[in-house]
Amino acid sequence: MEAIWLYQFRLIVIGDSTVGKSCLIRRFTEGRFPQVSDPTVGVDFFSRLVEIEPGKRIKLQIWDTAGQERFRSITRAYYRNSVGGLLLFDITNRRSFQNVHEWLEETKVHVQPYQIVFVLVGHKCDLDTQRQVTRHEAEKVAAGYGMKYIETSARDAINVEKAFTDLTREIYELVKRGEITIQEGWEGVKSGFVPNVVHSSEEVVKSDRRCLC
């Protein structure tokens, strides 16, 4: 909370119900794995700061969505204002993998006119013995959509940090290159507070802030 952040990114986490979206987010934001987790109602909110380079922090606002169909009309409303997303499936649940296409189709419709940078996440990789989706085929699907693929486990805290920070970095690069721009009326990316510096994506050094106060 004390930290000053350079940008705020809004990320959305989607995927079938029970693939472990909320658990992944809570591992990332709260650092623990909840033993009991009720199905998400509508949409939930989390946030965390990520330091992508020394002194460069990004505030992530993470929208956790309900996987259940009946909440779809609520969750749909949140695509539009997201800059990035984690699309989860459960590696022990083939069906949830097959639905990845549907999820992407759905977002395509609702994200207009903006775009979302997605990463495909094969979740519950600690349950390797029950695996129903191979890494290879998941990677192929991801590549087909121009996404990165990563396997995570919220329970064993595998790749959780990496999944979020890699996505954050990717978005940050796009912002830096001007391929994603801050726009009025769009909440996906917001610039942070760097006092008295009209900052584009240029270097903002910590010491700059210090001397200005």
Partner 1 sequence: MKMFNFCSCDIILLRDIIIMSENDGVKNMATVKEIPSFDSGSSQPKKQLHLAEHSAKQESESEHIAPTRKRPEPKSPSEPVTSEVLPDEGLKAIGKDPVPTEVTQTGWGYWGNWGKSLLSSASATVATVGQGISNVIEKAETSLGIPSPTEISSEAQNTEETNVKASSTHKEDGNTSPMGTALGVFSTISTAVQSTGKSVISGGLDALEFIGKKTMDVIAEGDPGFKKTKGLMNRNSTLSQVLREAKDKEELRTANEVTMATDKKAHYGLLFDEFQGLSHLEALEMLSRESEIKVKSLTNSLSGEELVNLKLELEQLREAFSLAEICDEEEDEKKEDEDFTSEITELFSQLRVSTRPDKLTKARNTVHEWIRMSSSKSLIEEEEGKQIEPENPEQEDKKTIEDIHAFAIQSLAELTAYSIEMFHKTAALILHGKKQEITALKRSKALSQMTVLLCKELSSVSKEFATCLTTVGVKEKADVLNPLITGVFLEASNSASYVQDAFQLLLPVLEISLIQSQIESSQSQ
DSSP three-state, residue 136? helix
Point out which span in 67-75, 83-91, 149-157, 169-177 binds partner 1 (CB under 8 A).
67-75
CB of residue 77 vs partner 1: minimum separation in angstroms? 6
Contact residue for partner 1 among 48, 80, 199, 209 (CB under 8 A): 209
Number of alpha carbons in the 13 Å side-chain half-sphere of residue 99:
19
Paired sense of beta strands 56-65 and 43-53, if any:
antiparallel
Q: Does 195 bind partner 1 (CB under 8 A)?
A: yes
Show Cβ contacts of residue 189 under 8 Å, excluding neighbours closer than 6 positions.
7, 8, 9, 10, 83, 171, 175, 180, 181, 182
CA angle 94, 18, 80 (to 5 degrees): 95
127 or 194: CB nearest partner 1 = 194
Q: From residue 140, give the alpha-carbon distance in Å to each of 28, 35, 143.
A: 26, 33, 5
In which region does residue 206 sit, left (phi positive, over 0), alpha (psi from -120 to 50) or beta (all else)? Answer: alpha
Contact (Cβ atoms closer than 8 angstroms) between residue 171 and residue 180: yes
145 or 193: CB nearest partner 1 = 193
Contact residue for partner 1 among 101, 102, 193, 200 (CB under 8 A): 193
User: Which residues, numbered 12-51, are part of the site for partner 1 (CB under 8 A)?
Assistant: 38, 41-47
CB of residue 192 vs partner 1: minimum separation in angstroms? 8
70 or 177: CB nearest partner 1 = 70
114 or 149: CB nearest partner 1 = 114
Q: Does 74 bind partner 1 (CB under 8 A)?
A: yes
Q: Does 109 bind partner 1 (CB under 8 A)?
A: no
DSSP three-state, residue 13? strand
Interacting residues with partner 1 (CB under 8 A): 1-2, 4, 38, 41-47, 61, 70-71, 73-74, 77, 193-196, 209-210, 212-213
